[in-house]
Structure 1
Amino acid sequence: MSTTPAGRRNETGIAVDPVLPTIVITREFEAPPARVFRAHTDPGLVVQWLGPRGLRMEIDRYDARTGGSYRYLHRDDDGNEYAFHGVFHEVRPVERIVQTFTYEGMPDSVSLETAVFEDLGGRTRLTATSLMDSVEARDGMIAGGAETGIREGYERLDELFDAGAEAVSAADEHRRVAGTFTARVRGVPAGAWDRPAPCEGWVARDVVRHLVEWFPAFLKTGTGIELPAGPSVDEDPVAAWQVHSDGVQALLDDPATAGRTLSHPQIGDVPLDQAVDRFYTADVFMHTWDLSRATGQDERLDADKCAALLEGMLPMDEVLRGSGQYGPRVEVPESADVQTRLLAFIGRTPSTTRR
C-alpha cells in the first residue's frame, strides 16, 4: 500500500508493503544524477536539506565512502535533540548508496537503506528503500512523522537546486581558483621564492612544489591518467605551475571526465570531477594564502568559498586530521571572520593577516 502516491513527477512517493518491513521512496529531481548524488554525500550540502523544516541539523561526522560512517543530530527550538548514526556499506558514485540507519532514541532498531540514482536525461529519479527490523518498527516510524520529514527534506533539496546549489561546474571552479593562484605565482617578487612559508619547513617555492607533485601521483593512482610534466619547481616555479595547472584544466574541460570515476584506497570511489574539486581545487584555494603570506601579496580569500569549505570540513575533522595533511587546530575566537576560522582549522596561525 502507499501512504503517499507519486503523482506529479516531482512529488515524493512513499510506499509501504503490507507484509515486508519496508518503506520505498521515489522522487524525481530537475538535476542530473551527479548533482543529486553529491547532495547526498557532501556534508556541506547534506546539512542544508536533510530532515524536516523547523529543525536545525548539526553533523558530527559524515564520511560518505564505502566503509565510512556518519552521525548527525536535529535540534528543535526547545533544545530537544534527535541523533542518528550509521555506516556506509557501499558508496558507488552517481549510482547507489547502501547504509545503515539508527535513531539513537531506539538504539536496538537498525534499518538498511539503499538509494539508487537513475539518469533520466538531465534529470534524476531517486528510489530509496529502507528495510527495517519488523513491520511494527516500520509502522512506528511512519506514525512518528517520518513521512513529513522525508517529504520536507526533498522539498528543501529541490529548493537548493532551484537556488543554483552546485551549479558551478568543477571545471569552472578550478578555472577561478587556479586563476587566482596563478596570479600570485606570477606576482612573486624577484628573490622571494626562498622566503619562509607558513607551513613548517617550507619556503615559497615549496607551496608550488606540493601542488604539482602530490596531485599527479594521486590522480595516476586513482585513474591511470598522467598529467603533462613541466620543468622542475627549482628550475622555474612559474612554468612548472602553469604546465601543471593547464593540464588539470584540460582534464576538467574534457567532456569524457564527467563519466569517469577516481578509485583510491583512502577515499573509495568518487566521480572524477568531484574528486578534483573536493580534494585538489580546495587545496589550491587554501595554499593561495600560504603563498601570499610568504611573498607579501594580497592574502584575502573569497569569504563564501571559505565558509563552504569550513562547513564541509568540520564534520570530517577526525578523518582530515588523521591524514597528516593538516597541523593541529588553532583556537580562535568565535567572533573571528570566516577566513581566520578556516585557516585556524587547517592549522595556520593567521593572527596578523595582511589586507
Structure 2
Amino acid sequence: MNAPSTSTPPEATRIEADPALPTIVITREFDAPPARVFRAYTDPDLVVQWLGPRRLTMRIDRYEARTGGSYRYVHRAEDGTEFGFHGVFHEVRPDERIVQTFTFEGAPDSVSLETAVFEDLGGRTRLRATSLVESVETRDAMLSSGAAGGIREGHERLDALLRPSAAAEEHRRIADVFTERVRGVPEGAWENPAPCEGWAARDVVRHLVEWFPEFLKSGAGVELPKGPSVDEDPVAAWTVHREAVQALLDDPATAAKVLSNPHTGDVPLDQAVDRFYTADVFMHTWDLARATGQDERLDPDKCAQLLEGLRPLDDVLRSSGQYGPRTEAPEDADVQTRLLAFIGRKP
C-alpha cells in the first residue's frame, strides 16, 4: 500500500511518511521560544486546549509529563463516542526533547514510540516529532483514517494558543515607553516633585511596583517575582516588575484564568491586567516625564480610547479615591490635555 499524499504549504505542518520505514515525521515551526512550546506539550491545562481536532472535546485523566510518568486522555465526539489514549513518558528533557509511547485503546496491541525535539531558532521553535509504529501498513492505515488532519488541526490550535494576546502586545508597547522614561531620569532627579500630590518621581515607580502585585495575589492567586526596593534602585525595581508582568501576559495559560475582585467582579486575567494596570502605566508615564523633564507626549489614540472608557465611570472613579477632582481644559484642547484634566492633572 502506498503512503497517502502529505503535501502541505511550507509554513504549515509537514507530515512525511517514508515508503520504506514505518515512521511518521511531523515538522512545524512556531513563533514562540522552545520553553513556551515545550510547556504547551507538558502542562495538562494547556494540552487540553489544543491537542486533537476541533470537533472533539478532551478530558485528561492523568498527565505526568516527567521521565517515568504516564498519561491517559479521552477525546469525545458530539455523539458521545469516546476515544481513549494512553502511554508512558520515557524521557522528558525540559525545552529540548520528549520520548513517549502512544497507544490508541481501540487497538491496544499497537504501540508506537514518539520522539519530539524542540529546536531553538532564536525566538522561534522548530518542532520535529517522529512516530515509530509496528509496520508500514499500520502507519498508512493511521494516516488514511484521518490522523493527519487531526494533527494539523491540533497544530493550528496550538499556534493560536501560543500567539501573544492583544493584552500582552499592548503591555509590551506601553511598558516600553515607561521603561524609556525610567531609564532616562537624570541623576539626582528621583526626588523631584511629581504631579500627584505628595509624590516624588520615585513614588510614581513605587506605586506601580507595589499596588499591582497585591491586586494579582488577592484576586487571582498570582505572585510576581520581587526585585530590589524602589528606594534602593528604582530602575532595577521597575525592570524586574515589568518583565514579570510581561511574562504573565505572554503565558498561554493566563487567558484561561480569572481575577475576582469585589469592585470589578470576575474578569479574565489578561483583560484585567490590560484594563486596570496597563492603563495605569500609560497615564503615569506622563507623571514621570513631567517630574523629570522628559518627553511628555502620549499616544493620542490611546488617550482617546481611555478618555472614552473613563467618562461613563466618572462618579465611580471619584468615589474610589484613586482620582482627584477634574481640572479644566480648554474646549479646543488636544485629547491628551483633555485626558489629563479628566484624571485631575494640570498639564
Q: Does 1:293 find its partner at 2:290?
A: yes
AA in 1 matched with 2:319: G
Q: Report the CA distance between 1:323 and its aligned residue.
A: 1.1
Tell me the matched-pair count: 187
Quote the Cα distance in structure 1 between the aligned partners of 2:321 and 2:216: 19
Q: Does 1:270 find its partner at 2:249?
A: no
Stretches (4+) displaced over 4 A: none
**3-state DSSP class of the match of 1:284?**
helix
Q: Report the CA distance between 1:334 and its aligned residue.
A: 2.0
Residue of structure 2 equivalent to 1:196: 193
Quote the Cα distance in structure 1 between the aligned partners of 2:169 and 2:221: 23
Q: Does 1:236 find its partner at 2:233?
A: yes
AA in 1 matched with 2:302: K
**3-state DSSP class of the match of 2:210?**
helix
Would you say the 8 A contact 2:165–2:249 is kept in 1?
Answer: no
Match of residue 341, structure 2, among 337, 341, 344: 344
Q: Report the CA distance between 1:168 and its aligned residue.
A: 6.8
Quote the Cα distance in structure 2 between the aligned partners of 1:227 and 1:260: 15
Q: TM-score normalized by structure 1?
A: 0.52
AA in 2 matched with 1:313: L
Quote the Cα distance in structure 1 between the aligned partners of 2:320 and 2:246: 26
AA in 1 matched with 2:196: C
Q: TM-score normalized by structure 2?
A: 0.53
AA in 2 matched with 1:223: A
The aligned runs of 1:4-15 (5 Å cut-off) are none
Q: Report the CA distance between 1:239 and its aligned residue.
A: 0.2
Residue of structure 2 equivalent to 1:280: 277
AA in 1 matched with 2:333: A
Quote the Cα distance in structure 2 between the aligned partners of 1:220 and 1:312: 26
Quote the Cα distance in structure 1 between the aligned partners of 2:340 and 2:322: 13
Quote the Cα distance in structure 2 between the aligned partners of 1:295 and 1:254: 34
Q: Report the CA distance between 1:320 and its aligned residue.
A: 1.1
Residue of structure 1 equivalent to 2:213: 216
AA in 2 matched with 1:209: R
Q: Which has the larger radius of gyration?
A: 2
Quote the Cα distance in structure 2 between the aligned partners of 1:180 and 1:194: 21
How big is each residue's C-alpha offset from its partner over 1:296-336, in whole Å with a ceiling of 9 and x where there is no partner?
00000000000000001101111111111111011212211
Match of residue 243, structure 2, among 246, 251, 265: 246
AA in 2 matched with 1:308: Q
Match of residue 307, structure 1, among 293, 304, 313: 304
Residue of structure 1 equivalent to 2:257: 260
Quote the Cα distance in structure 2 between the aligned partners of 1:256 and 1:237: 30
AA in 1 matched with 2:311: L
**3-state DSSP class of the match of 2:253?**
helix
Residue of structure 1 equivalent to 2:159: none
Which residues of structure 1 form unaligned runs of 5+?
1-120, 122-166, 351-355
AA in 2 matched with 1:220: K
